[in-house]
Structure 1
Amino acid sequence: MTTRTGPGPRERLLEAGRELTYRQGVGIGVDALLKAANVARRSLYEHFGGKDGLIAEVLRRSTSEDEEHYRQTMRSAGDDPRARLLAVFDRLAEIVDEPDFRGCRYLAADLALTDPGHPGHAVTRDYRERVHRLLEDELIRLGHAEPAVAADQLLLLIDGVMAAGATRPRTRPAASARRLAEHVLDGR
């Protein structure tokens, strides 16, 4: 009797979905996903109800990891809220310089998913709200006069870094955004 040690069809679909939707976008065909995951079409529908469900779950899983990366980056910067917030832009500079960087999977998904009712949109909205709260909490600790507005501005800068990093590589968008973020932080 043999025992299976590799991941099952659900995990293989999630991994294939994560990889392919990042490299090629959420418009990737079902057949390509099934081939990469080495699963039958039936598995996609059994586990996710179809491609839309798979995309939403891929995004959901990524948000948890990415939110934790923000937290880890900020923790590594120490206790000073200003340093913690600016560390985000320093880390983004490293991310956009990685050779396999393709931009923000959440921005790309929101732009590509034309159906406003697609479940992926709810996932990306929730993720942005959580990142916004994380930034706003630091701004409150900093004593910023308008922490919610400043968090909006920082999130806009983050989105800009991710978009510019993908569309205009080697232009150092994170360094420019960091300088703008300093102005936002000084608006106490």
Structure 2
Amino acid sequence: MSVRTQSGPRERLLRAAHELIYSQGVNVGVDALLKAANVARRSLYEHFGGKDGLIVEVLSSAAADDAADYRNTMDRAGDHPRERLLAVFDRLGEIIARPGFHGCRYLAADLALTDPDHPAHQVSRDYRSQVHELLKRELVALRHPRPEHAAHQLLLLIDGTLAAGATRPGTDAASAARELAEHVLAG
């Protein structure tokens, strides 16, 4: 008796959507998604209610993974808040250097989805809020005089680093942002 290891339509759609939405953007066609996943159109509507639901699911899943990556990056950097925060920019440098890097999926989705009520915007806001809180917690531990403001500044540097990494490869955006982050941390 053999064990079936092939994933179902939902999993195949998610896997294909993760890849195509990141590489081509949220405006990738439904037909391309269905073809890459090797599923019928009906599967998209049964599992996600349509393409918008699939986009939200993909961004939500990615947000959980990306937030965990921030936490893991800071944890690997040790206990000192300054080193934990600066490690984020070192990690961004690694991410930007990867083949196939296309920038920040949340910024790309926010820019491409012009309907302000699209549910993906809430996923992006929630994700950024979560990262902001991670940064702020470290800034409070560092006894920064303005942790809320400094967390906003660091988040802006993160967004800028990812955008520059995608649009101006080879400029070492992460190192430049790390240097600016050191000024923010100095308060």
Normalising by structure 1, report the TM-score: 0.97
Q: CA deviation at 1:3?
A: 5.4
The answer to whether structure 1 residue 13 and structure 2 residue 3 are counterparts is: no
Alignment partner, residue 95 of structure 2:
95
The answer to whether structure 1 residue 131 and structure 2 residue 131 are counterparts is: yes
- Secondary structure, counterpart of 2:100 in structure 1: coil
Output aligned runs, 1:1-188, within 5 Å: 4-187=4-187
- Distance in 2, matches of 1:98 and 1:44, equals 30
Runs of 4+ in 1 over 6 A off after TM superposition: none
- Distance in 1, matches of 2:12 and 2:36, equals 8
- Distance in 2, matches of 1:9 and 1:115, equals 28
> For residue 126 of structure 1, what is the amino acid of its counterpart?
D
- Secondary structure, counterpart of 1:143 in structure 2: coil
CA offsets, 1:139-168, max 9 Å, x none? 000000110000000000000000000000
Q: CA deviation at 1:100?
A: 1.2
Q: How many residues align?
A: 187
- Distance in 2, matches of 1:141 and 1:119, equals 34
Q: CA deviation at 1:4?
A: 3.3
- Distance in 2, matches of 1:69 and 1:152, equals 19
- Distance in 2, matches of 1:7 and 1:118, equals 29
Q: CA deviation at 1:97?
A: 1.0
**Structure 2, gaps ≥5 residues long:** none
Q: CA deviation at 1:132?
A: 0.2
**Structure 1, gaps ≥5 residues long:** none
